[in-house]
Structure 1
Amino acid sequence: MKDIKYALQSGNTDKAISLCQQALESLINDEQQIEILYMLAVAQRVKGAISEASKTVDKLIPLAPENARAHQERAYLYLQVEDKINATKAFVKASKLNPALLSSWQQLIHLFTEVGQTAGQNNAIKQVQYLSSLPNEIRGARDLMYEGKLALADTVCRRFLQSHKHHAEAMLLLAEIGIQLKLYHEAEFLLESCVEIHPTFTTARAEFVNLLSKLGKFSQAKQQAEILLGKHADSHPFLAAKASAMVGIGEIEDAIKIYQYILNARNDLPGIQLLLGHAYKANGDIKQAIAAYQQAYKIRPSFGDAYWSLANTKTYQFSEQELELMQDQLSKIELDHDDKVHIQFALAKTYEDNKQFEKAFSFYQYGNSAKNQRIHYSQGKLSEQISAQKSVFNLNFFSTHENLGNPDPAPIFIVGLPRAGSTLLEQILASHSMVDGTMELHNILGLAARLSSNKSGYPKVVNDIDHDYFARFGKQFIEETQTYRQGAPFFIDKMPNNFMHIGLIKAILPNAKIIDARREPIACCFSGYKQLFAEGQEFSYNLDNLAHYYQSYQSLMDHWDSVLPGFVLRVQHEDVIEDLETQVRRLLDFCQLPFETSCLQFYKTKRAIKTPSSEQVRQPINANAREQWKNFESFLTPLTKVFDPS
Structure 2
Amino acid sequence: MIQPLRAPSPQQALAEGEALLASAPHKALTQAEAILRQAPGYPPAEFLAARALRKMGKGKQAVARLDALARANGRVPAVLWELGQAAAEAKDTQRAIAALQALTQLQPTVPGGWFLLARQLRKAGRTQDAWRADLSGVHASSRDTALLKAAVAVQDGDLEGADRMLAERLARDSDDPPALRLHGEIAWRKGEMTPAIARVEQAVASAPGFDLARDFLIRLLLQTNRLPEALEHAEVLQASPIPSPGHKLILASVLVRLGHQERAAGLYRDLLARDADQPQVWQNLGHVLKTLGRQAEAVDAYRAAVTRQPTMGEAWWSLANLKTVKLGPDDIAAMKAALASLEDTADERKEDVFHLHFSLGKAFEDARDHAASFAHYDKGNALRRTMILHDADAFSAEVEAAQRTFTSAFIATMGNGGCPAPDPIFVVGLPRSGSTLVEQILSSHPMIEGTMELPEMMMIGARLQSRVDEGEFADFAAMIASLTPADRQRLGEEYIERTRIHRQTDRPLFIDKMPNNWQHVGLIRLILPNARIVDARRHPLSCCFSGWKQHFARGQTFTYDLTDIGRYYSDYVGLMAAWDTQAPGHVHRVIYERMVADTESEVRRLLGYIGVPFDAACLEFYKTERAVRTASSEQVRQPIFRDGLEAWKPYEPWLGPLKSALGPVLDSYPDAPSV
TM-score class, shorter-chain normalisation, is 0.7 to 0.9
Distance 1:473 1:189, change over 3 A: farther
Shift of 1:504: 1.4
In structure 2, relative to structure 1, the CA distance for the partners of 1:133 and 1:157 (3 Å cut) is closer
Verify the 8 A CA contact 1:142 1:173 in the aligned structure 2.
no
Instruction: Please identify, of 154-163 and 524-533, the stretch whose mean Cα deviation from structure 2 is larger.
Output: 154-163
Q: What's 1:473 paired with? A: 491
Task: Name the residue aligned to 2:655.
Answer: 636
Q: Runs of 5+ in structure 1 lacking a partner?
A: 1-125, 145-152
Asked if residue 171 in structure 1 is aligned to residue 177 in structure 2, the reply is no
- Between 503-512 and 480-489, report the one with greater CA deviation: 480-489
- Corresponding residue for residue 87 of structure 2: none
Match of 2:563 in 1: 544
Over the aligned positions, Cα root-mean-square deviation in angstroms equals 2.6
Partner amino acid for 1:378?
Answer: D
Q: Give the whole-Å Cα distance in 2 for the aligned partners of 1:495 and 1:421.
A: 12
Cα separation, partners in 2 of 1:351 and 1:402, compared to 1, 3 Å? same
Q: Which of 338, 342, 345 is equivalent to 1:334? A: 345
Query: Are the equivalent residues in 2 in contact too, given 1:344–1:366 (CA < 8 A)?
Result: yes
Which of 242, 245, 258 is matched with 1:249 structurally? 258
User: 1:348–1:469: structure 2 CA closer, same or farther, 3 Å change rule?
Assistant: same
CA distance in 2, matches of 1:616, 1:131: 56
Instruction: Map residues 354-433 of structure 1 onto 2, 5 A cutoff.
Output: 354-433=367-446
Distance of aligned partners of 1:265 and 1:338 in 2 relative to their CA distance in 1, 3 Å threshold: same
**TM-score, normalised relative to structure 2:** 0.71
Contact 1:172–1:204, Cα closer than 8 Å, also in 2: no
1:592 aligns with one of 607, 611, 614: 611
- C-alpha displacement of 1:158: 5.8
Residues 491 and 162 (structure 1), Cα distance of their counterparts in 2 relative to 1, 3 Å cut: same
| DSSP-derived class of the 1:314 partner | coil
Separation in structure 1 between the aligned mates of residue 444 and residue 529 of structure 2, nearest angstrom: 25
Q: 1:525 maps to what in 2?
A: 544
Give, as a single letter, the amino acid of the residue that structure 2 aligns with 1:371: R
Cα displacement (A) at 1:137: 5.4
Residue of structure 2 in register with 1:572 after alignment: 591
Tell me the alpha carbon deviations over residues 327-378 of structure 1, each in whole angstroms, 9 at most, x when there is no partner: 1110122251111111111110000011000000000011001100111321
Cα deviation, 1:233-252, whole Å, max 9, x if unaligned, reads: 73211211111221222222
Distance apart, 1:232 and its partner CA? 5.4
Deviation at 1:190, TM superposition (A): 1.8
1:594 partner SS: coil
- Indicate yes or no: 2:347 matched with 1:344: no
CA contact (8 A) 1:171 1:191 kept: no
Greater displacement, 574-583 / 472-481 = 472-481
Structure 2 counterpart of 1:410, one-letter code? D
How far does the alpha carbon of each residue in 1:401-448 deviate from its partner, in whole angstroms, 9 at most, with x for none?
333111111100001111111000000000001000000001111222
Q: Distance in 1 between matches of 2:545 and 2:236?
A: 44
Aligned equivalent of 1:281: 290
1:190 is aligned, of 189, 196, 217, to 196
Q: 1:495 to 1:132 in 2, by over 3 A?
A: farther
Spell out the pairing of 1:34-433 with structure 2 (5 A cutoff): 134=147, 136=149, 138-144=151-157, 167-178=179-190, 186-187=192-193, 189-199=195-205, 200=207, 201-231=210-240, 234-332=243-341, 333-335=344-346, 336-433=349-446
Cα shift at 1:321:
2.7
In 2, are the aligned partners of 1:304 and 1:343 still within 8 Å (CA)? yes
SS in 2 for 1:230: coil
Given that 1:283 and 1:607 are in contact with CA atoms closer than 8 Å, whether structure 2 keeps it comes out as: yes
What is the Cα deviation at residue 171 of structure 1? 3.2
1:556 deviation in Å?
1.4
2:532: which partner in 1? Answer: 513
Q: Distance in 1 between matches of 2:239 and 2:462?
A: 32
- 2:522 matched to which residue of 1? 503
Choose the corresponding residue for 2:602, options 568, 572, 583.
Answer: 583
Task: Return closer, same or farther for 1:263/1:548 CA change in 2, 3 Å cut-off.
Answer: same
**Matched residues in 2 for 1:222 and 1:640: separation?**
46
Q: Measure how far apart 1:288 and its partner are.
A: 0.8
- CA distance in 1 between counterparts of 2:634 and 2:309 reads 26
Relative to the length of structure 1, the TM-score reads 0.74
Report the alpha carbon displacement of residue 253 of structure 1 after superposing the two structures with TM.
1.5
Q: Please tell me whether the aligned partners of residues 539 and 546 of structure 1 are also in contact (alpha carbons under 8 angstroms).
A: yes
The alpha-carbon distance between structure 1 residues 258 and 337, as it changes in their structure 2 partners (threshold 3 A), is same
Once residues 305 and 576 of structure 1 are traced to their aligned partners in structure 2, the CA distance between those partners, rounded to angstroms, is 33
1:158-193: CA deviation from partner (whole Å, max 9, x where unpaired): 666765668525433334425xxxx5xx42552244
Which residue identity lines up with residue 610 of structure 1 in the other structure? Answer: R
Shift of the 213–288 alpha-carbon distance from structure 1 to 2, 3 Å rule, reads: farther
Shift of 1:492: 0.2
What is the CA–CA distance in structure 2 between the aligned matches of 1:601 and 1:130, rounded to whole Å? 63
Instruction: Describe the shift of the 1:476–1:644 C-alpha distance in structure 2 as closer, same or farther (beyond 3 A).
Output: closer
The offset of 1:399, in angstroms, is 1.4
CA deviations on 1:302-340 (whole Å, 9 max, x unpaired) are 111111100011122224332222111101222511111
1:582-616 deviation digits (Å, cap 9, x = unpaired): 11011101000100111111111000000010000
Residue 496 of structure 1 and its aligned partner are, at CA, apart by 0.7
SS, match of residue 492 in structure 2: helix
Distance 1:425 1:192 in 2: 40
1:282-317 per-position Cα deviation (integer Å, ceiling 9, x unaligned) = 111001111111111122121111111000111222
Give the deviation of 1:217 after TM superposition: 4.1
Q: Matched residue of 1:515: which SS?
A: strand
Listed one character per residue, the Cα deviations across residues 26-47 of structure 1 (whole Å, up to 9, x for unaligned) are xxxxxxxxxxxxxxxxxxxxxx
- Which amino acid counterpart does residue 600 of structure 2 have in structure 1? E
Q: Which amino acid aligns with 2:479?
A: V
Residue pair 1:168, 1:198 contacting (<8 A) in 2 also: no
Shift of 1:453: 4.4
Deviation by residue 1:241-269 (Cα, 9 ceiling, x = unmatched): 11122122222222111111111122121
| Deviation at residue 476 of structure 1 after TM alignment | 2.1
**Deviation string for 1:188-208 (max 9, x for gaps)?**
552244223443354343233
Contact 1:395 1:563 in 2 (8 A): yes
Give the equivalent residue in structure 2 for 1:108: none
Aligned mates of 1:303, 1:357 — CA distance in 2: 24
Matches of 2:456 and 2:404 in 1, distance apart? 23
Name which of structure 1's ranges 587-596 and 202-211 shifts more when overlaid on structure 2: 202-211
**Cα distance in structure 2, aligned partners of 1:409 and 1:346:** 42
The structure with the largest alpha-carbon Rg is 2
Specify whether residues 400 and 375 from structure 1 end up closer, same or farther in structure 2 by C-alpha distance, changes over 3 A only: same
The verdict on how the C-alpha distance between 1:240 and 1:188 changes in structure 2, with shifts beyond 3 A counting, is farther
Q: Distance in 2 between matches of 1:156 and 1:389?
A: 41
In the alignment, the residues of structure 1 paired with residue 309 and residue 144 of structure 2 have an alpha-carbon distance, to the nearest angstrom, of: 29
Which residue identity does 2:180 align to in structure 1?
A
| Structure 2, unpaired ranges of 5+ | 1-138, 668-675
For 2:485, give the aligned amino acid.
Answer: H
Name the CA shift for 1:470/1:299 in 2 (closer, same or farther; >3 Å): same
Residue of structure 2 in register with 1:56 after alignment: none
Q: 2:636 aligns with which of 591, 594, 617?
A: 617
CA contact (8 A) 1:157 1:173 kept: no
Instruction: State how far apart, in whole Å, the 2-side matches of 1:590 and 1:532 are.
Output: 33
Aligned residue in 2 for 1:558: 577
User: CA contact under 8 A between 1:414 and 1:516: conserved in structure 2?
Assistant: yes
> Which residue of 2 is the match for residue 62 of structure 1?
none
